[in-house]
Amino acid sequence: MSRPSRRLLPLAVATAALPLLALPVGPAAAVTYGTPTITFSAAYLSGAVGATGDPTVTVTVAQSGAPVSSLTVAATASTRTAVARTGDVTVTGTGSARTLAVAAQGVGYTDLTVKVTGLGGKTASRTLHYAASPAVQFSADSRYLTGSSDASAAVDAGGGYIVVADDESNVLRLYDRNASGAPVRTWDFSSALGVTKEIDIEGATRVGNTVYWTGSLGNNKDGEIKTARHTVFATTVSGSGATTQLSLAGSSTALRGDLIAWDRAHGDRYGFAAGSAAGQAPKQIDGFNVEGLEFAPGSTTTAYVGFRAPLTPAVTGGRALIVPVTNFPSLLSGSHATFGEPIELDLGGLSVRDLRRNALGQYLIVAGSWAADDNSDPYALYRWDGRPGSQPVKVLDLPTADAGGWEAVADVPDLTAPGARVQLITDDGSAVLYNDGIEAKDLTQPEFKKSRTTWFTLN
């Protein structure tokens, strides 16, 4: 007899929840923050009232234990709010390097306290010494080249950069021509040239990768003969733009003596011997002072040497003088100068302050007074074709209400192009920029020294 089968029912298993044991938690480690640090790329900064694109300072900040983005930077005090208030200081950026700019309210000096605030309520401060010069005409088209106030000659370096000479030192400076600020590179060939005094560089021109520079060839302002001022030298250019490099290519001190001897041989027509004699100041209507240098049309050997003084004849309303040196590059290899027929130009009683040619054979002449009072005498810009038999044509009367004398033109645009623009540079060395009675050339801080560039539309 079979047994009936039994079906096994599933067992329900109940499990009781086990209690979780709470483990003791110790106190969290306290976060510690160091004292913030703050440094400036320069402790001195200059600006101008109403300026566009004034120089800036890089502010570098850090704090141990804190992300740099948590740090804030602001100006907290100004010693002269009439020059700049704390609200006129802007700081941009969130990284370790921030950019500080100041919008000037008035002329003069102020010290700005700049504070970095970090985590944990910790702070640090530094003082920025600031100077503001007056507003100028054409401020939107003006920029400031700092580090020197005595710009005297300039050549194009390509890529938006120019090399600028200084007539109070022998330093050549490379600048971004479209921005205000300090030079990106400098060169001083004094030692290699064997000079310890200023050359008084006043003229420059570039042919290919060679730049020729000339001193004024005249006496100093006290009429003393200083041989360093007789220097003509050349530099070789490598690279372009911000990577431009210069190396010395040769020099001579013979041109002054050759010019005097040439004039004497032609009956002292221009009075070079008398104008350059000991005791004679160079910036006289009958003085001896060179300020322009450029090559003749289609030539790489004949250079035009333009004179600030003398006028010819040496009377009010006299003509400006250019003397062609037909073997200019050979001067650097020891040759004496040979000369072409002198060129006399009607510049309305003004003389040559700079001379520049473009690849199309078009010339611009910066014309100004032979006199030393740079900040008030008339200035004008003339165009010329470089031919001895033709006379230049005035294209612009240059403004003279602002400080500084128009001294240099780096390059020449196509003068036939509509809206052609040219950039001119001032020598501000004799200007009192900050209402302190001190001429810019005598300021002790390089950042406060500056020359001004301005773009002018010609057509």
Per-residue pLDDT tens over the stretch 340-353: 999 999 999 999 99
Say what the pLDDT of residue 8 is. Answer: 39
Residue 428 predicted with pLDDT over 70? yes
Alpha-carbon distance 338 to 73, whole Å?
63
Mean pLDDT across the chain: 93
Question: Predicted confidence band at 376 (pLDDT cuts at 50, 70, 90)?
Answer: confident
State how far the Cα of 393 lies from the Cα of 382, in Å rounded to an integer: 5
52 band by pLDDT with thresholds 50, 70 and 90: very high
Nearest by Cα to 385 from 411, 358, 404, 403:
358
Distance CA 190, CA 327 (A): 25
Higher pLDDT, 25 or 137: 137
Quick one: DSSP state of residue 70? G
Q: How far is CA 158 from the centre of its chain?
A: 15
* Cβ(342)–Cβ(363) below 8 Å: no
Phi, psi torsion values for 69, nearest 5 degrees:
-70, -15
pLDDT value at position 350? 97
Q: In this structure, are strands 44-48 and 123-133 parallel, antiparallel, or unpaired?
A: parallel
* pLDDT recorded at residue 1: 41
pLDDT more than 70, % of the chain: 93
Record the tokens describing residue 10, joined without a space: 């599933």
CA torsion, points 249, 250, 255, 257, in degrees to nearest 10?
Answer: 170
pLDDT value for 459: 80
Residue 24 pLDDT level (bands cut at 50, 70, 90): low
Segment 265-280, tens digit of pLDDT: 999 999 999 999 999 9
pLDDT for res 6: 43
Q: CB atoms < 10 A from the CB of 411, how many? A: 19
What is the model's pLDDT at position 30? 67
pLDDT in tens, 150-176: 999 999 999 999 999 999 999 999 999
pLDDT at 377: 85
| pLDDT tens digits, 300-325 | 999 999 999 999 999 999 999 999 99
Which ranges in 18-100 belong to alpha helices (H)?
none
The fraction of the chain above a pLDDT of 90, given in percent, is 92
Task: Note if the pTM is more than 0.85.
Answer: yes
Residue 5 above 60 pLDDT? no
Write the CB contacts of 285 (distance below 8 Å, at least 6 apart in sequence): 309, 310, 311, 314, 315, 316, 318, 370, 371
pLDDT tens, position by position, 68-118: 999 999 999 999 999 999 999 999 999 999 999 999 999 999 999 999 999
CA-to-CA distance for 420 and 459, rounded, in angstroms? 6
pLDDT exceeds 50 at position 9: no
Asked whether residue 28 carries a pLDDT value surpassing 80, the answer given is no
**Is residue 429's pLDDT more than 90?**
yes
Cα of first residue to Cα of last residue in the chain, in angstroms, is 129
Average pLDDT over residues 357-375: 90
